Amino acid sequence: MLDLTLDDIARIIGGTLVLGDHAVELGVSESTIVGGAVDTDSREIVPGGIFVAKPGEFSDGHLYVPAAIESGAELVIVERVLDDLTVPQIVVADSVQALGDLATEVVRRIRELGLLKVVGITGSNGKTTTKNLVRTILERRGPTIAPRDSFNNEVGAPLTMLKLEADTKYLVAEMGASKPGEITRLVRMARPDVGVVLMVGLAHAGEFGGIEKTLQTKTEMVTDLLPTDVAVLNIDDYRVAGMAEKTRASVLWFGLDARADVRASALQSTPTGTTFTLSLPTGQSRQVNFGVLGEHHVMNALAAAAVAHTLEVPLDDIVEALESVTRAEHWRMEVLPGTQGITIINDAYNASPDSMLAGLKTLAQISGEGIRRVAVLGEMSELGEFSLEEHDRIGRTIVRLGIERIFVVGEGARALHLAATHEGSWDGESAFFDTADEAYAVLEGELRSGDVVLVKSSNSAGLRFLGDRLGERFA
């Protein structure tokens, strides 16, 4: 983080600075400068850091203030005065709000230096993959900050912004939301020069209250953009395409549609990735050998290429960076090839109807002599009233795709198993298991050389660990 005085920080976040007798004895004053890494996790605090005590659903960050100080925190931001601390504390009404206010000011000050460009990315699916691709392209051209994992909410996004330094050239901000207004808040913190919307689907539809509420929330990415900014929009998604009418920014289209400014054509899917021709609005085109499995990830590559083009990255550099990426992220279409001829595709970090269908289509496209396709599936969470209908639809689709063997794990996905069974033309095509351990015991004995296994579920179902376990067993 930028160096700031304690008094500066207190003023920025609207808090009360409490130095404490011990800190005063050590010469700490209102003008003392701090600038270490900011975190809400005491386990991540490093010497010189700032710890934000955030009340949580299951625990209270104030309980971990001593641990943060022991790890080297030089300042704590709290919602109530804590006794006997050896470091100064700033007391605020809302520590999450304070975190956002601090991030907003840090971004503003670094922007004033004239070097920083900010990219904001949202969408129902693909945010993390696209963020990783954009980071891979941009970090070759200058210091780049991007979130780890899926740090894209009201806490994770500002924590990423607070990693900015005076020489940072690019900030890639992933922006998610669980309710309307959250993306607006993040956009106003970061003030993107480039705002990306990937797609609008049923992911988290249960939380939002339906697809129209999801659309309204994702549109928040572009409504605050300025005329000098660029909205990078998916022309193949009619809901996203409609956002062009909601923004003052210029629009750069990406997609497979012939009208797209940044377009992919001549797609060829293989078990190791996708080959496609990338075309830019300059008239240039190049073949890309993209090592991330699944044609649906080509859309993420196009979005990343569009961002890079907007930021004046040459086509050759874009292609070289895209071809250097071999996986989207840990647990996202992660290919774990085995020495016994068994391939595990672990894609169980998140699942929505759109991403589940995309993963299954990728599995269906993998063919060859001796190859048997196996789907190990768990619940798609956060669908609310749409859950039964969507699990039923996916179960029937699996059979229609011709996937030979289906393992369904967990009560939340039972409707998927029942639908596959009703749709199937023979008994035993789909098997149901209450737990991942039960599924593993059968898989361990049944898998054979040539099998390609897709493991897919929402994070809450925990099948990512089953995927890892299968990878270790057959590696």
Binding residues for ATP, by number, are: 123-129
3-state secondary structure of 448: coil
Beta strand pairing status for 285-290 and 273-279?
A: antiparallel
Compute the distance between CA of residue 441 and CA of residue 470 in angstroms, rounded to an integer.
10
Please check whether residue 41 is in contact with residue 52, taking contact to mean a CB–CB distance below 8 angstroms: no
| Distances in whole angstroms, Cα of residue 471 to Cα of each of 270, 335, 343, 432, 467 | 20, 9, 8, 21, 6
**Nearest alpha-carbon partner for 29 in 9, 13, 7:** 7
3-state secondary structure of 297: helix
DSSP secondary-structure letter at 220?
Answer: H
Element (H, E) at 167: none
Element (H, E) at 446: helix 436-446
Annotated binding-site residue numbers: 123-129
State the Rg of the chain over Cα.
24
- What distance lies between CA 33 and its chain's CA centroid? 33
